């Protein structure tokens, strides 16, 4: 087959994980609630998932878990959920950015140690995981996984031995780990949430009756009928016990030093989520409006590449007055890791997942809005698909600036040499993807689209909120 047709359908950015935890003080079983919470967070990871629960009125330190490879509704059955009996628990969906794609690396992690049982679910990526792992290994630690989440769990367990409480152990561990993390930790009688001091990854707090919930996104709270209480602040540790929420803000930095990942707003999060007081849907509309202001072009239809391009495309349409339309039909049953049987297969990976609605674009000048261009192979194919369906012009607009640097904080943006924008002008990129014109979101617009919340722009500018590692710790990125 033509080599241009042999690329990964997932030539886009991906995020690492979604986390969910709940403590029901009425003693009701929480496994099914965690299941529905994970379904709402499925977009954050489709590689593996897991649920771990325990009964606070039962034997101290007994925790049951079910983990597996695949989607939430593939891994769990009614029988397996029925067997997970307990009123405190946590769940996790995973997309790997560091560590192999194996069942052993599925979360939540459950550790049995001298103080009882520790459960942990982690979203993010540490930049000093290697040195911390080496330190633990020299002390006799035996690792069961290749993920940095296990390093965090071991450090918490080790600190707990000489700490008065589990939350104090989490605080001590946070002083050692560096990078991006939103954590949910369970001890036998507590549910603990923690967010790194820069706030790279989101974490919010909710309540339903006498149950408290921690989740990566507020949409998971909506799904289970819970009330959104607030976001966990960057650097904050919240401890849920005795039907109360206790807060430790000793690790918090000044608010202007936070560095939220802008791609939570551009791509990762569901549009019905609010993060740190900002509507994800509104931020995408704003990005589209800014694109229309800064990169106008005459056309007949504006369309988004599903799903994350749709909001920005609508914003572009509203600002420009050019009609918004659906030009792509998406096969929702194809995951990010679907099987491509053979290299010789004649089917295009993109067309398996996406097809053009010919009637919508035939004979028209099309503005195609997408969230990003990484290597450019998918953009090239989609532009060709539009032309083959009869589009007379294809103008590409991207609701983020060009990627020029890798990410070390849980987003799998690869090494610079693999980025289409590396050593290329916008005009050269336009030629590579075959568009009639190409426009990116201006860098200064990023803060405007999130109402001046402090954000990380490292992948666009090379200026990271903390010193990046001296060696690349994201092994899977190079494959």
Mark out the alpha helices in 29-128 (DSSP H runs). Answer: 31-40, 72-75, 78-83
Question: Tokens 């820069």 identify what position?
Answer: 198
CA distance 223 to 33: 9
Are the C-beta atoms of residues 99 and 145 closer than 8 Å to each other? yes
Residue 314 structure tokens: 């609508």
Contact 50, 68 (CB under 8 A): yes
Catalytic residue among 17, 204, 219, 459: 17
Active site residue 49: no
CA dihedral (24, 26, 28, 32) positive or negative: negative
Task: Single out the residue of 149, 105, 98 nearest to residue 408, CA to CA.
Answer: 98
- What does residue 313 show for φ and ψ, rounded to 5 degrees? -65, -40
Residues sharing a CB contact under 8 Å with residue 211, sequence separation 6 or more, in sequence order: 22, 23, 24, 25, 26, 28, 30, 33, 226
Token couple for 443: 């860098």
Radius of gyration of the chain (CA): 23
Torsional sign, CA 219, 353, 364, 383: positive
Relative to beta strand 63-69, strand 88-94 is: unpaired
In sign, the C-alpha dihedral spanning 197, 203, 207, 210 is negative
DSSP letters of 325-358? ---EEE-TT--TT-----TT--S-HHHHHEEE-H
State the alpha helices, DSSP H only, in 335-457: 349-353, 358-361, 377-388, 426-433, 445-449
Q: Are 94 and 45 in contact (CB under 8 A)?
A: yes
Taking Cα atoms as reference points, which of 342, 279, 294 lies closest to residue 5?
Answer: 342
For residues 259 and 37, what is the distance between their CA atoms, to the nearest angstrom? 26
Cα separation, 11 vs 5, in Å, equals 12
- Contact status, residue 460 vs residue 453, Cβ threshold 8 Å: no
Q: Known catalytic residues?
A: 17
């Amino acid at each position: 087959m033509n080599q241009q047709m042999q690329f990964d359908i997932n030539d886009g950015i991906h995020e690492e994980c979604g986390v969910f935890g709940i403590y029901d003080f009425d003693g009701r079983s929480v496994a099914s609630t965690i299941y529905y919470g994970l379904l709402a967070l499925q977009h954050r990871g489709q590689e593996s998932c897991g649920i771990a629960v325990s009964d606070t009125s039962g034997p101290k330190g007994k925790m049951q878990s079910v983990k597996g490879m695949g989607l939430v509704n593939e891994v769990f059955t009614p029988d397996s959920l029925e067997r997970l009996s307990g009123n405190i628990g946590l769940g996790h969906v995973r997309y790997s950015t560091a560590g192999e794609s194996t069942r052993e690396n599925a979360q939540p992690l459950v550790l049995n140690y001298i103080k009882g049982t520790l459960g942990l679910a982690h979203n993010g990526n540490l930049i000093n995981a290697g040195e911390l792992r080496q330190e633990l290994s020299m002390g006799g630690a035996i690792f069961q996984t290749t993920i940095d989440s296990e390093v965090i769990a071991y450090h918490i367990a080790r600190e707990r031995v000489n700490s008065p409480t589990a939350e104090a152990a989490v605080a001590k561990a946070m002083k050692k780990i560096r990078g991006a993390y939103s954590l949910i930790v369970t001890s036998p009688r507590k549910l603990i949430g923690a967010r790194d001091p820069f706030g790279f990854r989101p974490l919010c707090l909710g309540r339903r009756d006498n149950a408290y919930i921690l989740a990566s996104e507020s949409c998971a709270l909506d799904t289970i009928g819970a009330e959104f209480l607030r976001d966990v602040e960057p650097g904050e540790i919240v401890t849920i016990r005795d039907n109360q929420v206790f807060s430790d803000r000793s690790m918090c930095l000044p608010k202007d030093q936070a560095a939220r990942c802008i791609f939570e707003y551009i791509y990762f999060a569901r549009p019905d989520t609010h993060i740190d007081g900002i509507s994800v849907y509104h931020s995408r509309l704003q990005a589209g409006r800014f694109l229309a202001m800064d990169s106008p072009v005459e056309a007949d239809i504006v369309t988004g590449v599903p799903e994350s391009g749709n909001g920005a495309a609508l914003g572009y349409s509203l600002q420009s007055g050019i009609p918004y339309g659906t030009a792509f039909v998406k096969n929702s049953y194809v995951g990010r890791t679907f099987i491509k049987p053979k290299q010789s297969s004649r089917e295009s990976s993109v067309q398996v997942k996406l097809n053009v609605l010919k009637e919508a674009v035939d004979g028209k000048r099309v503005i195609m809005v997408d969230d990003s261009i990484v290597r450019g192979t998918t953009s090239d194919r989609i532009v060709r698909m539009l032309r083959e369906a009869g589009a007379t012009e294809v103008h590409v607009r991207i609701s983020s600036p060009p990627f020029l640097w890798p990410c070390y904080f849980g987003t799998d943006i690869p090494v610079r040499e693999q980025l289409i924008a590396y050593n290329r002008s916008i005009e050269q990129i336009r030629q590579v993807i075959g568009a009639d014109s190409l426009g990116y979101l201006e860098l200064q617009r990023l803060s405007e689209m999130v109402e001046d919340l402090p954000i990380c722009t490292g992948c666009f500018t090379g200026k990271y909120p903390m010193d990046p590692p001296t060696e690349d710790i994201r092994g899977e990125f190079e494959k």
